[in-house]
Amino acid sequence: MNKAKKKWSFTSYCYLIPSMLVFIVFLFYPFAKTIYLSLFKTNKMGQAKIFYGIGNYKDLLSSPSFWNSMKVTLIFALIVVVGSMLLGLVTAVLCNKAFPGIRFFSTAYALPMAIASSSAAMIFEMMLHPAVGIVNKLLGLNINWLNDPNTALYCVAILTAWLNSGINFLYFSAGLGNIDDSIYERASVDGASGIQQFFNLTLPGLSPIMFYTLVVNIIQAFQSFGQIKILTEGGPNESTNVIVYSIYRDAFFNYKFGSASAQSVILFIIIMLITMVMFRIEKKGVKY
Amino acid sequence: MSEITLRNICKMYDKDHYAVKDFNLEIHDREFVIFVGPSGCGKSTTLRMIAGLEDISDGELWIDGQLCNYFEPKDRGLSMVFQNYALYPNMTVYGNLAFALKVRHLPKDEIDRTVKQVAKTLEIEKLLERHPNALSGGQKQRVAIGSAIVRRPKAFLMDEPLSNLDAKLRAQMRIELAKIHKETETTIIYVTHDQTEAMTLGTKIVVMKDGLVQQVAAPAEVYNNPANLFVAGFIGSPSMNFFKALVTEEDGKAALLLGNAASGRKVFLEGKRAQRLLKEEKDREVTLGIRPEDIYEYQEAVDGGFEKNTVGLEEVVDTREMLGAEVILYFESQGKTQSVRLKPENQSKPGETIKLYMNPEKIQIFDAETEENIFYEREI
Amino acid sequence: MNQSGATVAPGRNFYKNQISKEELEALKLEMNKKALIKRRSQTIFRLAVNVLVAFVVLLPLLYAISIAFMPSGELFSLDLNLFPKNPTIQNFVSALKNVPLLQFILNSFLVAGLITLGQIITCSLSAFAFSFLEFKGKGILFMIVMATMMVPGEATIISNYLTVGNLGMLDTYSVLIIPYLTSAMGIFLFRQFYMTFPMSLYESAKLDGCSNLRFILKILIPLTKSAIGAMAVYTFINAWNMYMWPLLVTGSDKMRTVQIGISMLNSVDSQSITLMIAGVVIIIIPSISIFIVGQKQLIRGMFSGAVKG
């Protein structure tokens, strides 16, 4: 019996081997190596040369550029998360009841999720073009949106919110679908108006999925890269230099692999903290 | 005080398809009205039209003499208990009970007082801080009823409220509901597919089929004086036995031949009932209906003073169900399973032949085509 | 006969004894008409709001399509030119001529397709083990897999780049594909699905002499078509849209994926915006097509199990 059980276990692990191999080689090992590199000064080939301890972190924490990119990242994430979730929620509510054409509209609202950040960035680049872009033409303005430190960040953030709204539409639609229709019927007999129903039933009914969506959105916002690389390359004046772009630039342009690794580790810690805090809040807040 | 009148209420989903047709009903104050029928008969649709959850295609709905067809659900002054309870999952029991009052902007202390009082009546005071998903089926049921009561509505509408409970709880809640009806002194309109619930709870039963009202009457009345074959078969468990029979005249009596003449299985009817039967159905085939408890063991019946002139049935017992206070024997006749309810002392076993006696006074006769009960007395 | 309590309907009230039959009929007719108008206007309102919002959401795409057909001279005017006056397909032709877009598309299809296939295989195998088999450390291993979802790609991308560089794997298909051959999300999704099946399904198959692999192929996979469909659509789109990794590890036109290749149009010369947009439209078509075709699958599969908890 014992022997049989052991053999049983061994074959069990076999099914995990393909996934685990990929995880080990391309996730655990490099993650450990990133932490390792973050403690060193590296040469141009990315080899760890001089042990620097927490020096990279110290340098970062005293660098205004790092704090700027933290600030930029936070503002960026805030706009993206609020914007994309609001857009997703509004569109999902709009498609909550059957009406002619609902299939077309729900496809339209989910569509941004199928569009690559680079493609979207190039479309927005054209729309925001100072001379021929439709935005300036429509608004009758003459703003160089992407080259103005005051506007560039908002532009890339709105673009990202638009990109991420598609999947949020799907999440919220699923959440609305999970709300039992009969509670709306009861509420209408009970005398609740449409607005009262929305705030007393719909929003609370969405809260479990709202939470999940929020976590996913925050993580996703923190990792936006393609659109920033194409549209602003972190500029102008570092006004769009989000942490991921800063990592990319430090590693592959400045060859400061150690510092870039340290930033990666900080990014990981931030994401982990946010996730953990969110789960803690959920356990306390959502009781049903 | 509440009077609800439904006049020629219809529900059409498209031009020719009626879900409910010409529904007429007077509901008086404090009545416990049951809509009963098989699924798809339009009973829930009718209830939802009264509630305002479905549009009324045609006809008039009067509540307290006021035309309510076009009132919003909230303006009809009714409250509803749903089959799946429809409790608000994000609110506590307290919140659920208070919701209908809160949205009407009643003062807080008044809400609090009412909620606590209702919770006390229903014995759910200890659950007030819980969320619905932490409640058992029976507790959810109480909360659902409680949220309907708090508003002191003109009438409660209940859509199969007990169908999600297990048998024991259902029986218990039935008693509870009867008690609540008495205590709150409110009209209840109640939808069910379960004829036992209909019989035990209702003061008035509306039997429906295919969108049409079949009969409206008190439970005993529906049981003893069914309007047609459907009502007779639907109400009662085990259900009424039906036999094809030919109506003939013998010595001024009406003789009902079950099977061919040679078999000699005959039942005689006398007096007024015979006259009526012969007048309407002589030499025609009809459906004879008799309830299981109105068939007796032959010898016992004769000993008990029933006239001997009826030739009884001789049947082979298929199955025997001992229920303690009674025994039910099933047998096959005319290709259908029939049943008879006898005293528990009866010892007949499957495979044995038993001689039975039908009480002619209790026989109902249904026209073969219209399926109407010939003996149905419209007003008693 | 009085209206009781708080329930006074808006408008006129009618009482049984105060209304004649004709009045009643007229009233019913009028009210039915009103109800119909109300219902219709609600639908129209809903439709109108949807048209408006959908227009805003789709605006970038619609505008891009419009520009793609616009001769480049037309764009450079100060007028508000939403639609091309002389539509042309010249932009598409030049875009395809200027950069090897077809090669890029082919590369992307190959990479995204193989990643999708690979993820389905590895994820269903792992999910099978996590849901039907018993072995030591199962709980911990599963926790570890789930925890990987928290590690941002950026935390590994530098080291991965250095690793594959040292291995001399840069600028190959395998370097684009292999790191993405599994995903925690996929394992989670499949496991969530498998958990809905009773253990007895597996046990009875075992009793019938069904091997594990056979069980996966003949029973699990057919039963989880919708989850696989969802996963396939989601993975393919994400792989098609991948940006940072291909940017780092591909150098030659032969290996470049569309998302990287398309930026070559961006830099060719700034005057050729229309050409660039035509290229963008070309490369958006495959991912959007797959999305539209697979949307139903995606919704059904993604949300029937995964998101509820």
Residue C9 DSSP SS3: coil
> What average pLDDT does the segment A123-129 reach?
87
Instruction: Classify the C-alpha dihedral A226-A228-A230-A231 as positive or negative.
Output: positive
* Domain assignment present for A48: no
Distance of CA B309 to the CA centre of its chain: 36
Examine the pLDDT at B217 and tell me if it is beyond 70. yes
Looking at chain B, which subunits does it touch, using at least 3 CB pairs closer than 8 Å as the criterion? A, C
Tokens linked to A171? 């999440």
Domain check: are A124 and A162 in the same one? Answer: yes
Report the 10 Å Cβ neighbour count for B307.
Answer: 11
Give CA–CA dist C191/C220, Å, rounded.
11
> Which of C2, C3, C4 is most worth mutating to test chain B (most B CB atoms within 10 A of its CB)?
C4
Interface partners of A (3+ CB pairs, < 8 Å)? B, C
> How far does the CA of residue C32 sit from the closest CA of chain B (Å)?
8
How far apart (Å, rounded) are the C-alpha atoms in residues C63 and A197? 38
> Where is average pLDDT lowest: A272-276, B67-71, C83-87?
C83-87
The parent domain of residue A18 ranges over: 2-37
Out of A7-11, A33-37, B232-236, C131-135, least confident range = A7-11
From the list A25, A111, A134, which residue is nearest C63 (CB)? A134
Counting Cβ atoms within 10 Å, is residue A55 exposed (0-12), middle (13-18) or buried (19+)? middle
Instruction: Return the C-alpha torsion angle A72, A78, A81, A86, nearest 10.
Output: -140
Q: Do A189 and B74 touch (CB under 8 A)?
A: yes
Asked if B65 lies within 8 A of C16 by C-beta distance, the reply is yes
Is A128 contained in some domain?
A: yes
Minimal CA separation from A239 to chain C, in Å: 20
Decide if B99 and A190 are in contact by the 8 Å CB cutoff. yes
Hey, of C2, C3, C7, C27, which one would you mutate to test binding to chain B, going by the most B CBs within 10 A of its CB? C7
Residue C158's nearest CA partner among A65, A42, A66 is A42
- Residue B240 DSSP class: P
Q: How high is the pLDDT of residue A233?
A: 83
Could you give the number of structural domains in chain A?
A: 2
Q: Is residue A47 part of a domain?
A: no
CATH code for the domain in which residue A142 is found: 1.10.3720.10
Q: Which residues pair with B249 in a beta bridge?
A: B254
Contacts of A162 in chain C (CB under 8 A): 57, 60
Strands B253-258 and B241-250, bridge-based pairing? antiparallel
Distance CA A288, CA B133 (A): 7
Residue A251 within a domain: yes
Residues A167 and A261 grouped into a single domain: yes
Q: What is the enclosing helix (H) or strand (E) of B310?
A: none
Please judge whether C46 and A94 are an interchain contact, meaning their C-beta atoms are less than 8 angstroms apart. Answer: yes
- Top pLDDT among A78 and C251 is at A78
Q: Is B39 part of the contact surface with chain A (CB cutoff 8 Å)? A: no
Please classify residue B69 by burial: count the beta carbons closer than 10 Å to its beta carbon, then call 0-12 exposed, 13-18 middle and 19+ buried: buried
Chain C residue with CA closest to A258: the answer is C158
- Which candidate from B60, B71, B154 shows the least CB-CB separation from C4? B154
Q: Do A33 and A74 share a domain, yes or no? A: no
* Tokens coding A280: 């803690």
B163 CA to chain A: closest CA distance, Å?
Answer: 16
Same-domain pairing of A85 and A188: yes
Among A218, A68, A215, CA closest to A153? A68
Using 50, 70 and 90 to split pLDDT, how confident is the model at C8? Answer: very low
Identity of the residue in C3, C24, C35 whose CB atom sits nearest the CB atom of B55: C35
User: Is C151 strand, coil or helix?
Assistant: coil
Note the residue count of chain A: 288
In this prediction, residue C270 carries a pLDDT of 55
Query: Is there a domain that residue A242 lies in?
Result: yes
Tokens 């007082």 correspond to B113
Q: Which of A278-287, B7-16, C144-153, C252-261 has the lowest mean pLDDT?
A: A278-287
Task: Identify the pLDDT of residue B309.
Answer: 58
- pLDDT tens digit string along C12-60? 566 666 677 778 788 888 888 888 888 889 889 989 999 999 999 998 9
CB A41 within 8 A of CB A50: yes
Contact check, Cβ <8 Å, C178/A22? yes
Residue A44 included in any domain: no
Residue pLDDT, tens place only, A138-167: 887 778 888 888 888 999 999 999 999 988
Interval B167-190: pLDDT, tens: 888 888 899 899 989 888 889 999
The closest CB to that of B70, out of C2, C19, C31, belongs to C31
Instruction: Count other C-beta atoms under 10 Å from residue A67's C-beta.
Output: 12
| Least Cα separation, residue A150 to chain C (angstroms) | 22
Q: Are residues A102 and A238 in the same domain?
A: yes
CB–CB contact A123 C126 (8 Å): no
Q: Kindly tell me if the per-residue pLDDT of B312 is higher than 70.
A: no
Amino acid at C42: Q
The pLDDT of residue B144 is above 80: yes
Indicate the helix (H) or strand (E) that contains B81: strand B78-81
Distance in Å, alpha carbon of A203 to nearest chain C alpha carbon = 16
Measured CA to CA in angstroms, residue C185 lies from A218, C128, C181 at distances of 17, 14, 12
Total-model pTM: 0.82
Nearest Cα residue in chain B from C35: B70
> Does residue B192 have a pLDDT over 90?
yes
Q: How many CA atoms lie within 13 A of A105 on its CB side?
A: 26
Contact C307 A212 (CB under 8 A): yes
Phi, psi of B3 (to 5 degrees): -125, 125
Residue in B73, B90, B157 nearest the CB of A288: B90
- What structural domains does chain B harbor? 4-234 (3.40.50.300), 241-367 (2.40.50.140)
- CB-nearest to A129 from C157, C273, C302 is C273
Give the model confidence (pLDDT) of A78-101 as tens digits.
999 999 999 999 999 998 888 888
Q: Does residue A42 belong to any structural domain of this protein?
A: no
Distance in angstroms (rounded) separating the CA atoms of residues A217 and B194: 50
Measured in degrees and rounded to the nearest 5, phi and psi for residue B371 equal: 65, 15
pLDDT in tens, C123-172: 999 999 998 888 888 888 899 888 888 888 888 888 888 888 888 888 88
Residue given tokens 């014992």 in the structure block: A2
Across the interface, whether the CB atoms of A264 and C298 are under 8 A apart is answered no
Nearest-Cα residue of chain B relative to residue A196: B103
Q: Do C148 and A175 touch (CB under 8 A)?
A: no
**Interchain proximity B1–C27, CB inside 8 Å:** no
Identify the pLDDT of residue C4. Answer: 35
Residue A108 falls inside a structural domain: yes
Do C3 and B71 make contact, defined as CB atoms within 8 angstroms? no
